[in-house]
Copies of this chain bind each other. A is one copy, B any other.
Amino acid sequence: MPTIKRIDHIAIVVDDIPSALTFWRDALGLELAHVEDVPDQESIVAFLPTGESEIELVKPTTDTSGVAKFLQKRGAGMHHICLEVDDIDAMLAHLKEKGVQLIHETAIHGSGGKKIAFIHPKSTSGVLVELYELPTPAP
C-alpha cells in the first residue's frame, strides 16, 4: 500500500509577494528560502520552510491560470495542500479503484524531476490536494 509521508507544503494565493512577506517573513519570522518565477505555471512562487513543510506563496502572473481565477473569484487565501507520497503511480491507481475523482489520472512532471498529480476537491471535502513523489536519486 502506498503511503503518505508528510505535508510537503501549503499553497497560499496572494495578490502581491512583497506585501504577503510583510506578515509571513517579517512579522512571523519564517525564513524566505527562495523566490522563483515559474512561467509554466504562470506564477511567481516564494518558499518559506517551517519544520518538515513549507508555506508557499503563489502570485499569478497572468489573468487566465487556475490560480489567477481563484484569486479573482475568492480573493487571497489557502489554495491547496501538497502531500508527499512514496509511490505516486501506485497511489493514483489505488485512489482510482476507490472511486476518487482525479484531476490527473497519471502523474505529470513538476519542477526538479518531481512527479505530481492533483486530486479533485469533489472527493476530498472541498480541498484541492496535490500529491508528489520525490525523484529517485541518480545511482
Whole-angstrom CA separation of A28 from B100 in the bound complex: 10
A94 touches B27 (CB 8 A): yes
Copies of this chain present in the complex amount to 2
Q: Which of A11-25 contact B (CB under 8 A)?
A: 12-15, 19-20, 23-24
Whole-angstrom CA separation of A1 from B12 in the bound complex: 25
Q: Which residues of B contact A77 (CB under 8 A)?
A: 121, 125-127
Chain A residue total in the interface (Cβ 8 A)? 42
B127 touches A12 (CB 8 A): yes
A29 within 8 A of B: yes
Interface residues in chain A, defined as those with a beta carbon under 8 Å from any beta carbon in chain B: 1-7, 10, 12-15, 19-20, 23-24, 26-30, 50-53, 57, 75-78, 81, 83, 94-95, 98, 100, 121, 123-127
